[in-house]
Structure 1
Amino acid sequence: MKMQFQLAETPEPMAAERGRLLFAAPVEFLKGVVAMSGLPPADRVEVCFAGRSNVGKSSLINALTNRKNLARASNTPGRTQEINFFTTQDGPYLVDLPGYGFAEAPVNVVKKWQELLKSYLSGRVNLRRAFVLIDSRHGVKKVDDEILTLLDRSAVTFQVVMTKVDKISKAEREKVIEQVKGALAAHPAAHPEIVVTSSEKGEGVDVLRAIIANLE
Protein backbone atom coordinates (compact mmCIF):
# COMPACT_ATOMS: atom_id res chain seq x y z
CA MET A 1 0.00 0.00 0.00
CA LYS A 2 1.40 3.37 -1.04
CA MET A 3 2.03 5.83 1.80
CA GLN A 4 -0.10 8.96 1.69
CA PHE A 5 1.82 12.06 2.75
CA GLN A 6 0.13 15.15 4.13
CA LEU A 7 0.88 18.32 6.04
CA ALA A 8 0.84 18.03 9.84
CA GLU A 9 -2.35 19.50 11.24
CA THR A 10 -2.79 21.85 14.18
CA PRO A 11 -2.33 19.72 17.30
CA GLU A 12 -5.17 18.86 19.68
CA PRO A 13 -5.33 21.27 22.66
CA MET A 14 -3.91 18.74 25.14
CA ALA A 15 -1.01 17.83 22.84
CA ALA A 16 -0.33 21.51 22.12
CA GLU A 17 -0.26 22.28 25.85
CA ARG A 18 2.25 19.48 26.46
CA GLY A 19 4.43 21.02 23.78
CA ARG A 20 4.10 24.51 25.23
CA LEU A 21 4.98 23.34 28.74
CA LEU A 22 7.97 21.27 27.59
CA PHE A 23 9.56 24.20 25.82
CA ALA A 24 8.50 26.82 28.36
CA ALA A 25 10.81 25.06 30.84
CA PRO A 26 14.59 25.52 30.60
CA VAL A 27 16.44 23.73 27.80
CA GLU A 28 20.17 23.49 28.44
CA PHE A 29 23.23 22.55 26.41
CA LEU A 30 24.62 19.29 27.79
CA LYS A 31 27.66 18.43 25.69
CA GLY A 32 29.20 18.22 22.25
CA VAL A 33 30.27 14.75 21.16
CA VAL A 34 32.97 13.85 18.63
CA ALA A 35 32.97 10.07 19.14
CA MET A 36 30.38 7.41 20.00
CA SER A 37 32.18 6.81 23.31
CA GLY A 38 31.20 10.32 24.39
CA LEU A 39 27.43 9.86 24.03
CA PRO A 40 25.39 10.43 27.20
CA PRO A 41 23.51 7.45 28.71
CA ALA A 42 20.53 6.31 26.60
CA ASP A 43 18.23 6.80 29.58
CA ARG A 44 15.47 8.84 27.97
CA VAL A 45 13.73 9.38 24.65
CA GLU A 46 15.81 11.26 22.10
CA VAL A 47 15.02 13.19 18.92
CA CYS A 48 17.57 14.49 16.47
CA PHE A 49 17.67 17.23 13.87
CA ALA A 50 19.48 16.61 10.59
CA GLY A 51 19.83 18.77 7.53
CA ARG A 52 22.26 19.92 4.93
CA SER A 53 24.46 22.90 5.72
CA ASN A 54 22.65 26.25 5.87
CA VAL A 55 19.15 24.71 5.99
CA GLY A 56 18.26 26.76 9.08
CA LYS A 57 18.73 24.07 11.72
CA SER A 58 20.16 26.33 14.42
CA SER A 59 17.44 28.93 13.84
CA LEU A 60 14.72 26.29 14.16
CA ILE A 61 16.15 24.84 17.39
CA ASN A 62 16.40 28.35 18.82
CA ALA A 63 12.78 29.08 17.82
CA LEU A 64 11.58 25.80 19.36
CA THR A 65 13.30 26.48 22.66
CA ASN A 66 12.55 30.22 22.87
CA ARG A 67 16.28 30.94 23.01
CA LYS A 68 18.25 33.20 20.72
CA ASN A 69 21.62 31.49 20.92
CA LEU A 70 21.08 27.98 22.31
CA ALA A 71 22.16 26.45 19.00
CA ARG A 72 24.88 28.60 17.54
CA ALA A 73 24.60 29.27 13.83
CA SER A 74 27.88 29.48 11.94
CA ASN A 75 28.35 31.85 9.03
CA THR A 76 30.42 29.15 7.36
CA PRO A 77 28.34 26.15 6.24
CA GLY A 78 29.55 22.82 7.58
CA ARG A 79 31.52 24.17 10.52
CA THR A 80 29.53 22.32 13.19
CA GLN A 81 31.43 19.06 13.54
CA GLU A 82 30.00 17.75 16.79
CA ILE A 83 26.79 16.02 17.79
CA ASN A 84 25.35 18.52 20.25
CA PHE A 85 23.05 17.32 23.04
CA PHE A 86 20.49 19.51 24.81
CA THR A 87 18.41 18.51 27.82
CA THR A 88 14.75 19.35 28.35
CA GLN A 89 13.12 19.29 31.78
CA ASP A 90 11.67 15.78 32.30
CA GLY A 91 11.57 15.34 28.54
CA PRO A 92 13.70 14.06 25.67
CA TYR A 93 17.21 14.90 24.63
CA LEU A 94 17.29 17.25 21.64
CA VAL A 95 20.22 16.35 19.40
CA ASP A 96 21.69 18.69 16.81
CA LEU A 97 23.57 16.68 14.18
CA PRO A 98 26.39 18.05 12.01
CA GLY A 99 25.21 19.57 8.75
CA TYR A 100 25.76 17.33 5.75
CA GLY A 101 26.58 18.21 2.18
CA PHE A 102 28.71 21.24 1.38
CA ALA A 103 31.32 21.90 4.07
CA GLU A 104 34.32 24.20 4.12
CA ALA A 105 36.45 21.76 6.06
CA PRO A 106 39.31 19.38 5.20
CA VAL A 107 38.23 16.18 3.46
CA ASN A 108 39.47 13.97 6.31
CA VAL A 109 37.47 16.01 8.83
CA VAL A 110 34.32 15.76 6.72
CA LYS A 111 34.79 12.00 6.37
CA LYS A 112 35.28 11.57 10.11
CA TRP A 113 32.10 13.36 11.07
CA GLN A 114 30.09 11.65 8.34
CA GLU A 115 31.17 8.32 9.85
CA LEU A 116 30.14 9.57 13.30
CA LEU A 117 26.74 10.57 11.90
CA LYS A 118 26.20 7.10 10.41
CA SER A 119 27.30 5.36 13.62
CA TYR A 120 24.95 7.50 15.70
CA LEU A 121 21.90 6.99 13.48
CA SER A 122 22.34 3.22 13.30
CA GLY A 123 23.36 2.64 16.91
CA ARG A 124 21.26 4.83 19.20
CA VAL A 125 18.48 2.64 20.67
CA ASN A 126 16.55 5.48 22.35
CA LEU A 127 16.31 7.60 19.18
CA ARG A 128 12.58 7.88 18.53
CA ARG A 129 12.55 10.19 15.57
CA ALA A 130 14.88 12.05 13.26
CA PHE A 131 13.62 15.37 11.99
CA VAL A 132 15.14 15.96 8.56
CA LEU A 133 15.10 19.63 7.61
CA ILE A 134 14.49 20.49 3.97
CA ASP A 135 14.88 24.05 2.66
CA SER A 136 11.55 25.08 1.14
CA ARG A 137 13.36 27.05 -1.55
CA HIS A 138 15.06 23.92 -2.91
CA GLY A 139 13.05 20.83 -1.97
CA VAL A 140 14.66 17.39 -1.60
CA LYS A 141 18.06 17.25 -3.28
CA LYS A 142 20.33 14.29 -3.98
CA VAL A 143 22.37 14.90 -0.81
CA ASP A 144 19.13 14.83 1.23
CA ASP A 145 18.11 11.58 -0.45
CA GLU A 146 21.35 9.99 0.73
CA ILE A 147 20.59 10.74 4.39
CA LEU A 148 16.99 9.55 3.96
CA THR A 149 18.29 6.25 2.57
CA LEU A 150 20.66 5.95 5.52
CA LEU A 151 17.70 6.44 7.88
CA ASP A 152 15.74 3.75 5.99
CA ARG A 153 18.64 1.32 6.43
CA SER A 154 18.99 2.23 10.10
CA ALA A 155 15.24 1.69 10.66
CA VAL A 156 14.93 5.16 12.18
CA THR A 157 11.58 6.84 11.64
CA PHE A 158 12.17 10.26 10.16
CA GLN A 159 9.85 13.22 9.64
CA VAL A 160 10.51 15.99 7.16
CA VAL A 161 10.43 19.55 8.48
CA MET A 162 10.38 22.15 5.72
CA THR A 163 12.20 25.34 6.70
CA LYS A 164 12.17 28.97 5.50
CA VAL A 165 8.67 28.71 4.07
CA ASP A 166 8.29 32.49 4.49
CA LYS A 167 10.90 32.95 1.76
CA ILE A 168 8.68 31.58 -1.03
CA SER A 169 5.28 32.39 -2.53
CA LYS A 170 2.12 30.36 -1.92
CA ALA A 171 2.34 28.88 -5.43
CA GLU A 172 6.00 27.92 -4.91
CA ARG A 173 5.09 26.41 -1.55
CA GLU A 174 2.47 24.10 -3.09
CA LYS A 175 4.88 23.06 -5.83
CA VAL A 176 7.74 22.20 -3.46
CA ILE A 177 5.42 20.32 -1.09
CA GLU A 178 4.40 18.07 -3.99
CA GLN A 179 8.08 17.55 -4.87
CA VAL A 180 8.85 16.55 -1.27
CA LYS A 181 5.87 14.16 -1.14
CA GLY A 182 7.08 12.50 -4.34
CA ALA A 183 10.63 12.12 -3.02
CA LEU A 184 9.42 10.62 0.28
CA ALA A 185 7.42 7.92 -1.49
CA ALA A 186 10.67 5.99 -2.05
CA HIS A 187 11.51 5.88 1.67
CA PRO A 188 9.83 3.31 3.94
CA ALA A 189 11.07 5.02 7.16
CA ALA A 190 9.33 8.31 6.30
CA HIS A 191 6.61 9.54 8.67
CA PRO A 192 3.45 10.44 6.72
CA GLU A 193 3.15 13.99 8.10
CA ILE A 194 5.30 16.87 6.83
CA VAL A 195 5.80 19.90 9.08
CA VAL A 196 6.03 23.29 7.35
CA THR A 197 7.91 25.93 9.35
CA SER A 198 9.30 29.43 9.42
CA SER A 199 11.65 30.16 12.31
CA GLU A 200 11.43 33.87 11.52
CA LYS A 201 7.62 34.04 11.53
CA GLY A 202 7.01 31.22 14.03
CA GLU A 203 4.89 29.20 11.61
CA GLY A 204 4.70 25.49 12.48
CA VAL A 205 6.81 25.83 15.64
CA ASP A 206 3.90 24.92 17.94
CA VAL A 207 3.14 21.88 15.75
CA LEU A 208 6.72 20.62 16.06
CA ARG A 209 6.76 21.25 19.82
CA ALA A 210 3.61 19.16 20.23
CA ILE A 211 5.02 16.31 18.12
CA ILE A 212 8.21 16.17 20.20
CA ALA A 213 6.41 16.44 23.54
CA ASN A 214 4.03 13.59 22.69
CA LEU A 215 6.59 11.03 21.52
CA GLU A 216 7.01 8.03 23.81
Structure 2
Amino acid sequence: MTVAFPEATEPETQAAEAGRLLFAGPIEFLKGVVAMDGLPPADRVEVCFAGRSNAGKSTLINALTGRKALARASNTPGRTQEINYFSAGDNLYLVDLPGYGYAEAPVNVVAKWQALLKSYLAGRQTLRRAFVLIDMRHGIKQVDEEILTLLDRSAVTFQVVLTKSDKVKAADRDRVLAQVRGALQKHPAAYPEIVVTSSEKGQGIAALRAIIATMA
Protein backbone atom coordinates (compact mmCIF):
# COMPACT_ATOMS: atom_id res chain seq x y z
CA MET A 1 0.00 0.00 0.00
CA THR A 2 1.34 3.42 -0.96
CA VAL A 3 1.41 6.08 1.78
CA ALA A 4 1.28 9.74 0.75
CA PHE A 5 3.52 11.21 3.50
CA PRO A 6 2.11 14.75 3.31
CA GLU A 7 3.90 17.72 4.80
CA ALA A 8 2.79 18.80 8.26
CA THR A 9 0.70 21.95 8.07
CA GLU A 10 0.64 24.86 10.47
CA PRO A 11 -1.20 23.70 13.60
CA GLU A 12 -4.64 24.93 14.54
CA THR A 13 -4.77 27.63 17.21
CA GLN A 14 -5.42 25.31 20.16
CA ALA A 15 -2.66 22.86 19.18
CA ALA A 16 -0.22 25.70 18.48
CA GLU A 17 -0.90 27.19 21.91
CA ALA A 18 -0.39 23.81 23.62
CA GLY A 19 2.97 23.51 21.88
CA ARG A 20 3.95 27.07 22.74
CA LEU A 21 3.10 26.59 26.41
CA LEU A 22 5.01 23.31 26.64
CA PHE A 23 8.20 24.82 25.29
CA ALA A 24 7.78 28.12 27.12
CA GLY A 25 7.81 26.21 30.41
CA PRO A 26 10.84 24.97 32.34
CA ILE A 27 13.24 22.97 30.17
CA GLU A 28 16.56 21.98 31.64
CA PHE A 29 19.54 19.85 30.75
CA LEU A 30 19.32 16.78 32.98
CA LYS A 31 22.33 14.61 32.17
CA GLY A 32 24.57 13.15 29.51
CA VAL A 33 24.50 9.37 29.34
CA VAL A 34 27.38 7.23 28.09
CA ALA A 35 25.97 3.78 28.97
CA MET A 36 22.50 2.24 29.19
CA ASP A 37 22.73 1.87 32.97
CA GLY A 38 23.05 5.64 33.21
CA LEU A 39 19.61 6.35 31.72
CA PRO A 40 17.21 8.23 34.02
CA PRO A 41 14.17 6.37 35.41
CA ALA A 42 11.63 5.48 32.71
CA ASP A 43 8.91 7.45 34.50
CA ARG A 44 7.64 9.70 31.71
CA VAL A 45 7.16 9.94 27.98
CA GLU A 46 10.24 10.72 25.94
CA VAL A 47 10.85 11.72 22.35
CA CYS A 48 14.27 11.57 20.77
CA PHE A 49 16.05 13.35 17.96
CA ALA A 50 18.30 11.26 15.72
CA GLY A 51 20.18 12.14 12.58
CA ARG A 52 23.41 12.04 10.66
CA SER A 53 26.28 13.96 12.19
CA ASN A 54 25.72 17.66 11.54
CA ALA A 55 22.09 17.20 10.47
CA GLY A 56 21.12 19.99 12.86
CA LYS A 57 19.76 18.16 15.92
CA SER A 58 21.15 20.51 18.56
CA THR A 59 20.18 23.57 16.53
CA LEU A 60 16.62 22.28 16.15
CA ILE A 61 16.29 21.57 19.88
CA ASN A 62 17.47 25.11 20.60
CA ALA A 63 14.91 26.48 18.12
CA LEU A 64 12.09 24.40 19.63
CA THR A 65 12.86 25.56 23.14
CA GLY A 66 13.70 29.15 22.22
CA ARG A 67 16.99 28.82 24.08
CA LYS A 68 20.13 29.58 22.10
CA ALA A 69 22.52 27.30 23.94
CA LEU A 70 20.43 24.62 25.64
CA ALA A 71 21.84 21.94 23.35
CA ARG A 72 25.45 22.26 22.25
CA ALA A 73 25.62 22.89 18.51
CA SER A 74 28.84 22.43 16.59
CA ASN A 75 30.13 22.69 13.05
CA THR A 76 32.30 19.66 13.80
CA PRO A 77 30.44 16.48 12.79
CA GLY A 78 30.11 13.98 15.60
CA ARG A 79 30.65 16.29 18.54
CA THR A 80 27.63 14.92 20.45
CA GLN A 81 28.99 11.66 21.86
CA GLU A 82 26.43 11.12 24.62
CA ILE A 83 22.70 10.65 24.91
CA ASN A 84 21.73 14.06 26.25
CA TYR A 85 18.56 14.26 28.33
CA PHE A 86 16.48 17.41 28.80
CA SER A 87 13.46 17.57 31.09
CA ALA A 88 10.44 19.46 29.79
CA GLY A 89 8.20 19.96 32.80
CA ASP A 90 7.25 16.88 34.79
CA ASN A 91 5.91 14.71 31.97
CA LEU A 92 8.40 14.73 29.12
CA TYR A 93 12.04 14.09 28.27
CA LEU A 94 13.62 15.48 25.12
CA VAL A 95 16.55 13.29 24.10
CA ASP A 96 19.40 14.40 21.83
CA LEU A 97 21.09 11.31 20.42
CA PRO A 98 24.67 11.04 19.16
CA GLY A 99 24.97 11.69 15.46
CA TYR A 100 25.45 8.67 13.27
CA GLY A 101 27.55 8.32 10.14
CA TYR A 102 30.70 10.34 9.58
CA ALA A 103 32.35 11.76 12.68
CA GLU A 104 35.72 13.33 13.45
CA ALA A 105 36.61 10.99 16.28
CA PRO A 106 38.69 7.83 16.76
CA VAL A 107 37.13 4.70 15.30
CA ASN A 108 36.79 2.99 18.71
CA VAL A 109 35.00 6.04 20.15
CA VAL A 110 32.61 6.17 17.20
CA ALA A 111 31.86 2.45 17.55
CA LYS A 112 31.11 2.86 21.26
CA TRP A 113 28.58 5.63 20.87
CA GLN A 114 26.98 4.06 17.81
CA ALA A 115 26.40 0.90 19.89
CA LEU A 116 24.88 3.05 22.64
CA LEU A 117 22.57 4.70 20.10
CA LYS A 118 21.35 1.33 18.82
CA SER A 119 20.84 -0.06 22.34
CA TYR A 120 18.78 2.97 23.31
CA LEU A 121 16.55 2.84 20.22
CA ALA A 122 15.94 -0.87 20.64
CA GLY A 123 15.36 -0.93 24.39
CA ARG A 124 13.72 2.21 25.79
CA GLN A 125 10.11 1.35 26.61
CA THR A 126 8.99 4.94 27.29
CA LEU A 127 10.21 6.22 23.91
CA ARG A 128 7.05 7.45 22.20
CA ARG A 129 8.52 8.70 18.94
CA ALA A 130 11.87 9.17 17.25
CA PHE A 131 12.24 12.27 15.14
CA VAL A 132 14.77 11.43 12.44
CA LEU A 133 16.39 14.56 11.07
CA ILE A 134 17.32 14.55 7.40
CA ASP A 135 19.27 17.43 5.87
CA MET A 136 16.99 18.58 3.07
CA ARG A 137 19.97 19.37 0.86
CA HIS A 138 20.85 15.66 0.71
CA GLY A 139 17.69 13.60 1.28
CA ILE A 140 17.78 10.09 2.74
CA LYS A 141 21.14 8.32 2.36
CA GLN A 142 22.20 4.72 2.99
CA VAL A 143 23.43 5.53 6.50
CA ASP A 144 19.94 6.87 7.30
CA GLU A 145 18.39 3.68 5.95
CA GLU A 146 20.32 1.67 8.55
CA ILE A 147 18.76 3.65 11.42
CA LEU A 148 15.29 3.59 9.86
CA THR A 149 15.52 -0.19 9.52
CA LEU A 150 16.61 -0.46 13.16
CA LEU A 151 13.56 1.57 14.18
CA ASP A 152 11.34 -0.72 12.10
CA ARG A 153 12.77 -3.79 13.82
CA SER A 154 12.42 -2.18 17.25
CA ALA A 155 8.80 -1.15 16.51
CA VAL A 156 9.62 2.47 17.34
CA THR A 157 7.44 4.94 15.47
CA PHE A 158 9.61 7.53 13.74
CA GLN A 159 8.78 10.76 11.96
CA VAL A 160 11.08 12.39 9.45
CA VAL A 161 11.97 16.02 10.03
CA LEU A 162 13.62 17.70 7.07
CA THR A 163 16.08 20.35 8.27
CA LYS A 164 17.77 23.34 6.63
CA SER A 165 14.92 23.87 4.17
CA ASP A 166 16.01 27.49 3.76
CA LYS A 167 19.18 26.23 2.06
CA VAL A 168 17.29 24.33 -0.65
CA LYS A 169 16.36 26.02 -3.91
CA ALA A 170 12.68 26.00 -4.77
CA ALA A 171 13.48 24.04 -7.94
CA ASP A 172 15.01 21.21 -5.87
CA ARG A 173 12.38 21.06 -3.14
CA ASP A 174 9.89 18.77 -4.87
CA ARG A 175 12.65 16.44 -6.03
CA VAL A 176 13.96 15.98 -2.49
CA LEU A 177 10.48 15.46 -1.07
CA ALA A 178 9.77 12.82 -3.73
CA GLN A 179 13.02 11.01 -2.88
CA VAL A 180 12.21 11.02 0.84
CA ARG A 181 8.63 9.86 0.29
CA GLY A 182 9.81 7.05 -1.95
CA ALA A 183 12.39 5.89 0.60
CA LEU A 184 9.84 5.90 3.43
CA GLN A 185 7.43 3.61 1.59
CA LYS A 186 9.39 0.53 2.69
CA HIS A 187 9.51 1.46 6.39
CA PRO A 188 6.45 0.28 8.35
CA ALA A 189 7.44 2.28 11.46
CA ALA A 190 7.38 5.58 9.57
CA TYR A 191 4.74 8.04 10.78
CA PRO A 192 2.80 9.16 7.67
CA GLU A 193 3.69 12.84 7.83
CA ILE A 194 6.87 14.80 7.13
CA VAL A 195 7.81 17.98 9.00
CA VAL A 196 9.78 20.48 6.90
CA THR A 197 11.80 22.85 9.07
CA SER A 198 14.27 25.68 9.07
CA SER A 199 15.68 26.50 12.49
CA GLU A 200 17.08 29.73 11.07
CA LYS A 201 13.79 30.94 9.57
CA GLY A 202 11.42 29.31 12.08
CA GLN A 203 9.63 27.22 9.47
CA GLY A 204 7.91 24.13 10.90
CA ILE A 205 8.84 24.87 14.51
CA ALA A 206 5.27 25.54 15.66
CA ALA A 207 4.09 22.36 13.92
CA LEU A 208 6.77 20.24 15.59
CA ARG A 209 6.03 21.78 19.00
CA ALA A 210 2.35 20.95 18.58
CA ILE A 211 3.11 17.35 17.56
CA ILE A 212 5.28 16.83 20.64
CA ALA A 213 2.69 18.48 22.91
CA THR A 214 0.10 15.88 21.90
CA MET A 215 2.40 13.19 23.31
CA ALA A 216 3.28 15.03 26.53
> Which TM class, normalised by the smaller chain length?
over 0.9
Residue-by-residue CA offset, 1:169-196 (whole Å, 9 max, x unaligned): 2221111011100000010000000000
- Listed one character per residue, the Cα deviations across residues 147-171 of structure 1 (whole Å, up to 9, x for unaligned) are 1001001100000000000001222
Q: CA deviation at 1:76?
A: 1.6
* Identity in percent: 75
Trace 1:59-138 onto structure 2 (pairs within 5 A). Answer: 59-138=59-138
Deviation at 1:90, TM superposition (A): 3.1
**TM-score, normalization: structure 2?**
0.98
Letter in 2 for 1:71: A
- 1:180 equivalent in structure 2: 180
* 8 Å Cα contact 1:22-1:91 kept in structure 2: no
Moved over 2 A (4+): 1-4
Match of 1:149 in 2: 149
TM-superposed deviation, 1:91:
3.4
Gapped runs of 5+ residues in structure 2? none
- Alignment match, 2:24: 24
Distance, in Å, in 2 between the alignment partners of 1:156 and 1:205 is: 23
Q: How many residues align?
A: 216
Distance 2:173 2:2 in 1: 23
Deviates more, 1:87-96 or 1:196-205: 87-96
Measured in 2, the distance between the counterparts of 1:89 and 1:118 equals: 27
Structure 1 residues without counterparts, runs of 5 or longer: none
- Across the aligned residues of Structure 1 and Structure 2, the Cα RMSD in angstroms comes to 0.9
Opposite residue 199 of structure 2, the aligned amino acid is S
Q: How does 1:173-212 map to 2 (within 5 A)?
A: 173-212=173-212
Letter of the 1:75 counterpart: N
Q: TM-score, normalised by structure 1?
A: 0.98
In 2, are the aligned partners of 1:51 and 1:100 still within 8 Å (CA)? yes
